[in-house]
Chain A
Amino acid sequence: EAGVAQSPRYKIIEKRQSVAFWCNPISGHATLYWYQQILGQGPKLLIQFQNNGVVDDSQLPKDRFSAERLKGVDSTLKIQPAKLEDSAVYLCASSSTLARPQETQYFGPGTRLLVL
């Protein structure tokens, strides 16, 4: 079974530029999560999708971050415009269903973003 795929693996941009990350979850997984992991910290949930609907985006900085999962499969996370403090690893995770909260979340390798 293929794992969670993310691209690109690395991205370097200048502040005020825009950037987009892509995630393809494990096949058949209904729930998709985007996390931000700042160096030296644990992952912090940004947004959670169930199929193509948003379940929780309370910690997403909506003035500059946006995410979509239009067909309920793959997802994109965008930052526009980027700030220096957005430098982090952006992790995507998926789980088979939200119906059972204890469902295991499987993480992708992450996209490492450096904003200069």
Chain B
Amino acid sequence: GQQLNQSPQSMFIQEGEDVSMNCTSSSIFNTWLWYKQDPGEGPVLLIALYKAGELTSNGRLTAQFGITRKDSFLNISASIPSDVGIYFCAGRPTDSWGKLQFGAGTQVVVTP
């Protein structure tokens, strides 16, 4: 079946450093989404990407939809303590209608 591989699994960084994580898929997606989940809460959408090659920013966050349509990355610049959480990529395969597949998540820990 289709799978999303998200890496790294976890990151321990110092405040002010940049963070980069990525997702790859075994099949072509028509949508890539990046979510953040805080403890005890549901995922919250950070960035949505709908076209191959699209590069989108949301404050200190930047994400790109890979040209092959099988991958995406998320960068966080100048990390701050509130960036702590689990970041999930999610993709919508071309043959699905609304159905999302999620990666396993990247745990980000920011130390002062």
Given that A41-B104, A42-B103 are contacting pairs, would A91 and B42 also be in contact in the complex, using a CB cutoff of 8 Å? yes
Q: Please name all residues of chain A whose beta carbon is closer than 8 Å to the beta carbon of B42 when the two chains form the complex.
A: 4, 91, 93, 107-110
Q: In the docked arrangement, what's the CA distance between A43 and B91, Å?
A: 12
User: Contact at B98–A107, with CB atoms within 8 Å?
Assistant: no
Q: B53 an interface residue at 8 Å Cβ cutoff?
A: no
Q: Please name all residues of chain A whose beta carbon is closer than 8 Å to the beta carbon of B104 when the two chains form the complex.
A: 40-42
Q: In the docked arrangement, what's the CA distance between A110 and B43, Å?
A: 10
Contact of B98 among A44, A91, A98, A108 (CB under 8 A): A98
Closest residue of A by beta carbon distance from B30? A101
For chain A, residues 62 to 116, give those with C-beta under 8 angstroms from any C-beta of chain B: 91, 93, 95, 98, 101-110
Q: A24 an interface residue at 8 Å Cβ cutoff?
A: no
B28 CB, min distance to chain A CBs, angstroms: 14
Q: Please name all residues of chain B whose beta carbon is closer than 8 Å to the beta carbon of A105 when the two chains form the complex.
A: 45, 100
Q: How large is the interface on B (under 10, 10 to 19, 20 to 34, 35 or more residues)?
A: 20 to 34
Closest residue of A by beta carbon distance from B92? A101
Give chain B's interface residues, CB within 8 Å of chain A: 4, 6, 30-31, 40-45, 48, 50, 88, 90, 92, 96-100, 102-105
**Can you list 27 A-B contacts with CB-CB less than 8 angstroms, sorted by A residue number?**
A33-B98, A40-B105, A41-B104, A41-B105, A42-B104, A42-B105, A43-B43, A44-B102, A48-B99, A55-B98, A56-B99, A91-B43, A95-B98, A101-B97, A102-B31, A103-B98, A104-B45, A105-B100, A106-B45, A107-B42, A107-B43, A107-B44, A109-B40, A109-B42, A110-B40, A110-B41, A110-B42
Give chain A's interface residues, CB within 8 Å of chain B: 4, 31, 33, 40-45, 48, 55-56, 91, 93, 95, 98, 101-110
Give 10 closest A-B pairs by Cβ, nearest first: A42-B102, A107-B42, A107-B43, A43-B102, A42-B88, A101-B98, A98-B98, A108-B42, A91-B42, A42-B103
